[in-house]
A and B are shown apart, each in its own frame.
Chain A
Amino acid sequence: DAGVIQSPRHEVTEMGQEVTLRCKPISGHDYLFWYRQTMMRGLELLIYFNNNVPIDDSGMPEDRFSAKMPNASFSTLKIQPSEPRDSAVYFCASSNVGGQGISYEQYFGPGTRLTVT
């Protein structure tokens, strides 16, 4: 398996533009997570899905952020309009939970480095 795939790897955009980040989870994994990493705030969970359904979006910073998972092999994180403070590395991760709700390893993608000027 190629692991979690993210695109683009780098994105530079101007303030006010729409940004779409993409993620392909590991085949067979039923959980997908979007994280944001910055020096100031560390690694923050934005939203996660189980079987394509959003479970917890309490980490989404504001209405400018939205995420979708139309099928088991694809998810997007969209920022519209983008602002300079959105500059960060965005990671997608996937995992496969075992029985009785016991958590298992989250596999991270390579990340998308977003710069908003």
Chain B
Amino acid sequence: GENVEQHPSTLSVQEGDSAVIKCTYSDSASNYFPWYKQELGKRPQLIIDIRSNVGEKKDQRIAVTLNKTAKHFSLHITETQPEDSAVYFCAASIGGFQKLVFGTGTRLLVSP
């Protein structure tokens, strides 16, 4: 079935460094790729998303890139801060519709 692979599972960086999380998807009809941040004990919250007609999107320190040919998309966080520490999930829509399949998550730890 459709799946989304996410790497790495854990990522430790020093404050101020950049962090990159990568995902691959299998459904060629996927057209929507959101990224969610989940802090411990909290709900997942959308931080950025990208649609298939765009190759890159940026929002302050966060950017997402999409390569539809290779079925890859990535999250880039620059100038990381301790409050960026959380679990990050990528997701891809299935069949071009509302159904999302989530990656397994990346635990990001930003050390001061």
Interface footprint category on B: 20 to 34
Check if A60 is an interface residue, CB within 8 A of chain B: no
Instruction: Name the prevailing secondary structure of the A interface residues.
Output: strand
Check if A103 is an interface residue, CB within 8 A of chain B: yes
Q: Chain A: how many interface residues by the 8 Å CB criterion? A: 22
- Shortest Cβ gap from B41 to chain A (Å): 9
- Shortest Cβ gap from B63 to chain A (Å): 18
Assembled-state Cα–Cα distance A33/B101 (Å): 12
Q: Which residue from B31, B32, B44, B97 sits with its C-beta under 8 Å from A108?
A: B44
Check if A50 is an interface residue, CB within 8 A of chain B: yes
Give residues of chain A (82-115) contacting chain B, Cβ–Cβ below 8 Å: 91, 95, 97, 101-103, 105-111
For B89, the chain A residues whose CB sits under 8 A away are: 43
- Shortest Cβ gap from A27 to chain B (Å): 18
Counting chain B CB atoms within 10 Å of each CB, which of A48, A95, A106 scores highest? A106
